[in-house]
Amino acid sequence: MLFPAEMFADMYLSAKGRPSMPPQILAAAVVLQSLHGLSDFETVQELRCDLRWKAACGLGLHDTAFDPSLLSYFRRRLARSARPHRIFDAVREVVQATGVLKGKQRRVLDSTVLDDAVATQDTLTQLVSAIRAVIPEVPQAAGIAADQCTAHDYSSPGKPRIAWSDEEARAALVDALVGDALRLLGSLPEQNLGEKAANAVGLLALVAGQDVEPADGSDGRDGRWRISRGTASERVVSTVDPDSRHVHKTRSHYQDGFKAHLAMEPETGLITAVELTPGAGQANHEAVVGLGLLAEEDGPLDVLGDTAYCTKEARAALTAAGHRLFLNPARCGRSFPAALPWTTSSSTPPETRWSARGEQPRNCGRLRHAPAAEGRLRSGAVHGLRTERAVHQGQRRPHRHHSPAP
């Protein structure tokens, strides 16, 4: 059996009874669902009506499957378990045992953004929500909050009642809420906390500092704060899902969510490695995660990928591992032929960035010279290219005139 019942024993540790549906049946359904690209509802419909699906998942002829929400519940349990990739690992073992990928040495690296189903919260909402989360979870936090936190009644729902159109009122509220958060954190006694309580305290500390800076005229020690002028790197966008991040796929378009990374064999379409990371952060960049996706591969590979994987560090690591690289190079903003007749009066040609032979091209920076000199260089380059084209076509080589320096 591909998924024995013992494989999921650690996910159902309660002694109050057995799971409503055996986890091995849910695991088989999740695999078939991914293979056919179906929704939860469509997956359950197939289990109810298709005898092939019933046989593959171990259901009887008259079994009526289950409610579609059970698949979401199972995936949530799986993601929070100690081994969230256990189903993928079991399928990968079967692929290795059958030798389907034997002799296939190409791997495609790619990533996509998975949108998160939470609303982006502003700084004030995050501060209030984070304080509310600490009060019931941490011992003695309720009493400390009643004495120290006076900016808002955190037991009442909704936002604080102020004149939201008044800029001074909003600034005063930010200062007061940050003060409440810092006083609450500073007054909590040292104690061993459970996982949920520790996460609540850590989230409050993060939210209290990510979007604020000392107010004008403050040295950061007098307790006066304001909203910072910029956006923090790897900013938490919601206290409902603290791992969600702003994801910029282009300069003008961004999403909130996660990045799904994968390595795939292009001929068979089999995915050999996967990873889910927050959407932002240097440690979650495609080039960094891509190296880990290929870490367990045996032997040299032909690695294919887009410009996100074509960083200097990634190319060096992949080459050192013996892989051959077929990566789309970064777009070159400006380039000139290596042998151009310089028409400027300076003996040193303008600075450009040239790629050595055999290396991937890099971004070419703009010429750091005066516009007039750059214009003469451009006209000289065009004149030189036209001259070479005329010579190759058998025409008489024209006389080249050099413009005097201004």
**Domain co-membership, 253 together with 217:** no
- Does residue 74 register a pLDDT over 60? yes
Q: Copy the structure tokens of residue 301.
A: 């590979």
DSSP 262: E
Residue identified by tokens 């579609």 is 68
CA atoms of 277 and 258, how far apart (whole Å):
6
**Backbone dihedral angles phi then psi of residue 160, each to the nearest 5 degrees:** -60, 150
Question: Cβ-count burial of 283 within 10 angstroms (0-12 exposed, 13-18 middle, 19+ buried)?
Answer: exposed
**Domain co-membership, 207 together with 288:** no
End-to-end Cα separation, the chain, in angstroms? 84
Residue 320 lies in a domain: yes
Instruction: Tell me how many degrees the CA angle 12-14-16 measures, rounded to the nearest 5.
Output: 125
Determine the 3-state secondary structure of 381 from DSSP. Answer: helix
**Domain co-membership, 323 together with 294:** yes
Q: Which of 24, 20, 27, 101 is nearest to 67 (CA)?
A: 20
78: number of Cβ within 10 Å = 19
Determine the 3-state secondary structure of 247 from DSSP. Answer: strand
**Domain co-membership, 249 together with 315:** yes
Q: Which of 146, 123, 150 is nearest to 135 (CA)?
A: 146
**Domain co-membership, 322 together with 249:** yes
pLDDT of 379 reads 45
CA atoms of 192 and 197, how far apart (whole Å):
10
Residue 239 lies in a domain: no
**Domain co-membership, 341 together with 312:** no
**Domain co-membership, 136 together with 219:** yes
**Domain co-membership, 131 together with 220:** yes
| Per-residue pLDDT tens over the stretch 5-39 | 888 888 887 766 667 788 899 999 999 998 898 99
CA atoms of 199 and 242, how far apart (whole Å):
10
- Tell me the torsion sign for CA atoms 395, 396, 397, 402: negative
DSSP 59: -
Q: Which of 263, 247, 3 is nearest to 111 (CA)?
A: 263
Instruction: Tell me how many degrees the CA angle 148-149-155 measures, rounded to the nearest 5.
Output: 130
| Per-residue pLDDT tens over the stretch 82-112 | 898 899 889 888 888 888 888 899 999 999 8
pLDDT of 131 reads 92
Residue 178 lies in a domain: yes
Residue 96 lies in a domain: no
DSSP 358: T
Q: Which residues lie across from 271 on neighbouring strands?
A: 264
CA atoms of 317 and 333, how far apart (whole Å):
26
Enumerate the H helices of 236-323 as residue ranges: 286-293, 312-320
**Backbone dihedral angles phi then psi of residue 114, each to the nearest 5 degrees:** -105, 115
Average pLDDT over residues 162-185: 89
Instruction: Tell me how many degrees the CA angle 63-65-68 measures, rounded to the nearest 5.
Output: 170
**Domain co-membership, 285 together with 311:** yes
Domain end, chosen from 327, 348, 372, is at 327
pLDDT of 338 reads 52
pTM exceeds 0.95 for this model: no
Name the residue type at position 186: G
**Domain co-membership, 319 together with 356:** no
Give residues with Cβ within 8 angstroms of 252, minimum separation 6: none
| Per-residue pLDDT tens over the stretch 337-385 | 554 454 444 444 444 444 444 444 444 444 344 444 444 434 444 444 4
- How many domains in the chain? 4
Residues in the chain: 406
More confident residue, 317 or 333: 317
pLDDT of 261 reads 93
Query: b/e for 240-257, b at 16 or more Cβ within 10 A?
Result: eebebbbbeeeeeeebbb
Residue 91 lies in a domain: no
pLDDT of 373 reads 42
CA atoms of 156 and 138, how far apart (whole Å):
19
Domain end, chosen from 86, 109, 137, is at 86
Q: What percent of the chain has pLDDT over 70?
A: 80
Q: Which residues form the domain of 360?
A: 336-406
**Domain co-membership, 273 together with 185:** no
Is 270 within 8 Å of 88 (Cβ atoms)?
no
**Backbone dihedral angles phi then psi of residue 117, each to the nearest 5 degrees:** -90, 45
**Domain co-membership, 27 together with 44:** yes
CA atoms of 354 and 362, how far apart (whole Å):
8
**133 Rama sector, left if φ>0, alpha if ψ -120 to 50, beta otherwise:** alpha
CA atoms of 208 and 195, how far apart (whole Å):
20
Domain end, chosen from 304, 327, 350, is at 327
Half-sphere exposure (Cβ direction) of 292: Cα atoms closer than 13 Å: 12
